[in-house]
Structure 1
Amino acid sequence: MTTNGEAVVEADPKLPVIRIMRDFAATPAQLFRAHTDPALFARWIGPDALTTRIDHWDARTGGSWRYASGAYWFHGCFHDVRPGRIVQTFTYEGNPDAVALETLWFEDRGHGRARLRTQSLVDSFESRDAWLRSDMKTGINQGYAKLERMIIDGTV
């Protein structure tokens, strides 16, 4: 892990998978809540320059979600929602054929620290590489920095 608060973003060389890891001064329950409470999620997700609006959000196993970040719309289904883990689909509506299967893990690291790990399985190496070229890392790091500030100020 990095010590400067940036996420580690890695592409699997053998699978069309992107893995992301970041540690937070938080509990796994706080990270889980930040990903399942729509009001909290909308405040931290994405790059600083874009505002997120929730269209609908049903964070339970079998539920679905849809939100806009700026002019960009995304949607998906929650396949498994439980403390410590979320499995969901993720679709950018500008490319509806490219559906990713995402798993998020919220791990207790002890001493008031938690690690967020995500894995996104996309449909092809071309899609994976396009995601990586999209400067997604900037949005991830800016969003996680907002989340960390919300944890520190007691919002989460």
Structure 2
Amino acid sequence: MSTTSTHETEIVADPRVPLVRITREFDAPKEKVFRAHTDPELVVQWQGPRGTEARIDHYDCRTGGSYRYVHVHEGQEYGFHGSFHEVRPAELIVQTFTFEGFPDGVALERLELEDLPGGRSRLTATSLVDSFEGRDAFLASGMDSGVREGYERLDALLAG
């Protein structure tokens, strides 16, 4: 399943509700993984697939804050925005997520972190959308490869 710094990213579509669950382990404590998700200077270094440049317009990761960022790939720009509903340091981020190319599709996302033995951690993220069709379109968009590649990039950042 893993080498010294790369772990499998599990992405599962729930058959009962329009939800995607992502589970990933990291060879770093949850505080470090949390910081990589909340510090905009770190987020731009790992988020998204390889070959994609991330640019943050604003990123106020606190309860009541909001964000907007753009991924640039082969000259095309893709915007994303949302609101942070609950942020608990090194533990939980609850946020909305909207891809601006499909503005009616708002997902409610929950990211939880837990400690594992040996200074490691596990991330569990869920993304709930408004319909099974929306969920399936989300999965068909190639987001799974972007998530996997992004977490591989995060592995390298955490190791550095």
TM-score (norm 1): 0.95
- Aligned partners of 1:136 and 1:27: how far apart in 2? 26
CA RMSD of aligned residues (A): 0.9
Q: Which residue of 2 aligns with 1:18?
A: 20
> Secondary structure of 1:115's match?
strand
Map 1:1-156 onto structure 2 (within 5 A). 2-3=1-2, 5-70=7-72, 71-83=77-89, 84-153=91-160
Aligned-pair distance for 1:59?
Answer: 0.7
- Aligned partners of 2:7 and 2:115: how far apart in 1? 17
- Aligned partners of 1:31 and 1:123: how far apart in 2? 29
Amino acid at match of 2:31: A
- Aligned partners of 1:59 and 1:127: how far apart in 2? 26
Moved over 2 A (4+): none
TM-score (norm 2): 0.93
Aligned-pair distance for 1:135?
Answer: 1.5
- Aligned partners of 2:63 and 2:118: how far apart in 1? 30
CA deviation digits over 1:19-57, x for unaligned, max 9? 000000011101110110001001100001110000001
CA deviation digits over 1:50-95, x for unaligned, max 9? 1000000111100000000111000000000112000000000011
- How many residue pairs are counted as aligned between the two chains? 152
Identity value in percent: 53
- Aligned partners of 1:130 and 1:67: how far apart in 2? 21
Amino acid at match of 1:117: T
> Secondary structure of 1:111's match?
helix
